[in-house]
Structure 1
Amino acid sequence: MTRSRASTITRRSLLIGGIGVVAAGATAEAVNLDLLPGRSTMYRVLGLNGADGTIPDVDPVPSVSGTFVSASRNGRTVGWTIAAPASDTPLPVAVALHGYGDDHASFFGRELGWDRFLAAHIADGGAPFAIASIDGGNRYWHHRSDGDDPAAMVVDEFLPRIARRGFDTDRLALTGYSMGGFGALRLGGVLGASRVRAVSAISPALWTSAADTARGAFDDAADFRANTVLGRQRALDGVAVRVDCGNGDGFAPAVHTYVDGFDAPPAGGFEPGAHTHGYWRRLAPQQLAFLARHLGR
């Protein structure tokens, strides 16, 4: 009797477990198709985001850091870092724009480790270039109604400083993650192909309407309409574009809409991943290879 009861419980457990597996698969597909809310949470709970990237165990390329008082940012003192290998000739530059809540240092060291990813890239035979990052605050890399303009700071103040240090700012790329991904796409479109060779955006913070935006991302609906990159893909004509986003990222639906707006699909794509440093580290080797390829032409 006990054996029969145990067998019944086992069969019931297996049946429930099987239903659970089917339900999980169906739920994942529904979330993927945006039929259910809570995209980011559901992908995380179901373990659909893939493995985190690992910073290479190599010595980083040399870097130099400093500060200056930015007139474009209403007199704020901003920090910056340039990471680059030694070179006898001027190296091209990728200006890297950080995400919300981060700063120029977030691209390097233990957070994203791009100074080590760049060293590994070069050791594997990749073309060398410099990575230059600067503090943009949480202002979404465009002019704000209070006069703060981190985009103007990049163009009018940071790029001349990079050039004075011997780097070739005529061979320029823009890259960034989250808020910085939006900033790279927007600024790349503003400057155009005459100034920018490549734009690489990782998990860009995009919205399809002003009503959906995060608080503080834009001054108001008019500011959103003036600065959104959706509908302005042609501004990047002649610029090599790469856009990557994790399927479990809350921004993925808007990023899909943005990517679909190109006449020819940009490089990159969608794969398991969340809006996390772990995903951004996993994409770093591909991002750096893309930038190097187009900066070297």
Structure 2
Amino acid sequence: MRSGAGGETPAQAGGDAVADEDAAGDEEILTSAQPAGEPPAKPSLQARLRSSRGRSGRGARSSAGSEPELGGRRLTRRKVLAGVGVTAGLAGAAAAAGGAVYAGWLPGRQRLVKAIEGCGQAGSPPPVSPGAVTVTSFSSAARHREVEMVVAFPPGYEPRSTSGDDAGDGGTPPLPLCLVLHGRGDRARAVADALAGPTYLAAATAAGVAPFALVAVDGGETYWHRRAGGDDPEKMLLDELLPRLATEGIRTDRFAAIGWSMGGYGALLLAQRHPERIVAVAASSPAVWRSPEQSAAGAFDSAADFEAHRVLGAGPAPGVTYRIDCGNADPFSPVAKDLASELAAAETGFLVGCHDFGFWRRQLPAQLAFVGHALSR
């Protein structure tokens, strides 16, 4: 999917978008004023009357006492008033059901909330200079392909070789690590491009957040777990990525994880499976479903695969602190709220927003502060 969100189409900036607004199925990110896949707004009565006049060459009334025409049909005053009455009745019924739809237990929740609230202010990268960013690639045996790795350092830090288990060059302690797991349809570079992570990291450290490194790597569309075909992004993270980071003076025994959409799910799953390694998780719009039938096509190999990698219903991982963020108009919002409650999330951000990078950037400063605090304890 992409929103460029979370769980990715016109603008495909990344993430898991959801085609089914009620079941949160295949992902598709909507960034334009007219959401992709939605019919255009119907023209108003006045507009159609003007169009009718243009076609017929006559005014609203062709002669004294005649009635206006609409699409070749005559409209009497009685018909117009009857239409107004029906419209008013429907509006009243919609208002009565609005709270239920907004709460998520009647159909149309995403569309209604988006129509009422919109997507809110998109996050704008702060006007600061980022620290060093490196982009390298390596051959992943776990994923059977070449992958890219992006490392963003806070200002004043550079890649360096370690001189011991607990110290970097010159005895400098290794820099704490936050893994960044991308959404479906994205790649590691999205952390620096669409998310503007290096710039936000620089602003966070300038504001007093303890410094740490952001690291992303290509995970494909695997949903960050081993697939039937042998693609194993989890093994890549633990057995291939972390050893490479250790040689750059980055601490890898305990670390945090941030992710959006598919990556939000992946971060939660990683913590669940390896709580001894993860200190904190900040998940944006996590692509999580209640059942295999509701999941996006290709997210899991089977119902058994879904259950083996279930996040909702598994409870919090011991020793891990959580932050969950999701926009009100995001299809994953109802499940994300259940997740936050089940995981006893230390922080949450449920507010105006959609499944897109505009929302994910807006929430990133709070997530970086949350991660920085957890890593510095």
TM more than 0.5:
yes
**1:250 aligns to what?**
331
- For residue 19 of structure 1, report the CA deviation from its aligned partner: 8.9
Write the letter of the residue equivalent to 1:68.
F
Q: Is the 8 A contact 1:95 1:172 kept in 2?
A: yes
Find the counterpart in structure 2 of residue 84 from structure 1: 153
Q: Which deviates further from its counterpart, 116-125 or 96-105?
A: 116-125
Aligned counterpart, 1:151: 234
What is the 5 A alignment of 1:38-57?
Answer: 38-57=108-127
1:183 corresponds to which letter in structure 2? G
- The alignment status of 1:96 with 2:96, answered yes or no, reads no
Map 1:167-182; keep pairs closer than 5 Å.
167-182=250-265
2:176–2:255 CA contact under 8 A, matched in 1:
yes
CA distance in 2, matches of 1:147, 1:252: 32
Equivalent residue, structure 2, for 1:67: 137
Unpaired segments ≥5 residues, structure 1: 1-11
Structure 2 residue identity aligned to 1:40: Q
- What is the match of residue 223 of structure 1? 305
Instruction: Tell me if the contact between 1:24 and 1:46 (Cα under 8 Å) persists in the aligned partners.
Output: no
- Following superposition of structure 1 onto structure 2, how do residues 264-279 of structure 1 map, counting pairs within 5 Å? 264-279=344-359
The 3 A distance-change label for structure 1 pair 168 and 37 is same
Q: 2:192 aligns to what?
A: 108
Aligned-pair CA distance for 1:125:
1.7
In the aligned structure 2, how far is the partner of 1:257 from the partner of 1:208? Answer: 10
Choose the corresponding residue for 1:34, options 97, 104, 108: 104
Superposed, 1:161-240 pairs within 5 Å as 161-192=244-275, 194-234=276-316, 236-240=317-321
User: Which aligned runs of 4 or more in structure 1 are off by greater than 4 angstroms?
Assistant: 15-28
Secondary structure class of the residue paired with 1:168: coil
Considering only CA atoms, is the larger Rg found in Structure 1 or Structure 2?
A: 2
More helix per residue: 1
Q: How far off its partner does 1:257 sit? A: 2.3
Contact 1:248/1:275 (8 A) holds in 2 = yes
Q: Which residue of 2 aligns with 1:136?
A: 219
Aligned CA RMSD, in angstroms, stands at 2.3
> C-alpha separation between the residues in 1 aligned to 2:359 and 2:96?
24
Secondary structure of the 2:326 match is: strand
Once residues 250 and 281 of structure 1 are traced to their aligned partners in structure 2, the CA distance between those partners, rounded to angstroms, is: 18
- In 2: Cα distance, 1:266 partner to 1:255 partner: 14
Contact 2:340 2:348 in 1 (8 A): no
Render the CA deviation track for 1:226-268: whole Å, top value 9, x for unaligned.
Answer: 001112123x121111111111110112222222323x34421
SS of the equivalent of 1:46 reads helix
Alpha-carbon distance between aligned partners in 2 of 1:259 and 1:241, rounded to the nearest angstrom: 8
Report the secondary structure of 2:178's partner residue.
strand
Residues 273 and 20 of structure 1: is their aligned pair in 2 closer, same or farther, counting only changes over 3 Å? Answer: farther
TM-score, structure 2 length as denominator?
0.70
2:372 to 286, 292, 295: 292
Q: Alignment length, in residue pairs?
A: 280
1:219/1:23 CA distance change after superposition, 3 Å: same
Q: Please say which of residues 244-253 and 284-293 is displaced more in the overlay.
A: 244-253
CA distance in 1 between counterparts of 2:325 and 2:342 reads: 15
Contact 1:94 1:129 in 2 (8 A): yes
C-alpha displacement of 1:47? 3.0
The residue type equivalent to 2:252 in the other structure is: T
**Equivalent residue for 2:206?**
123
Amino acid at match of 1:55: P
- Cα distance between partner residues in 1 of 2:207 and 2:129: 14
Deviates more, 1:82-91 or 1:118-127: 82-91
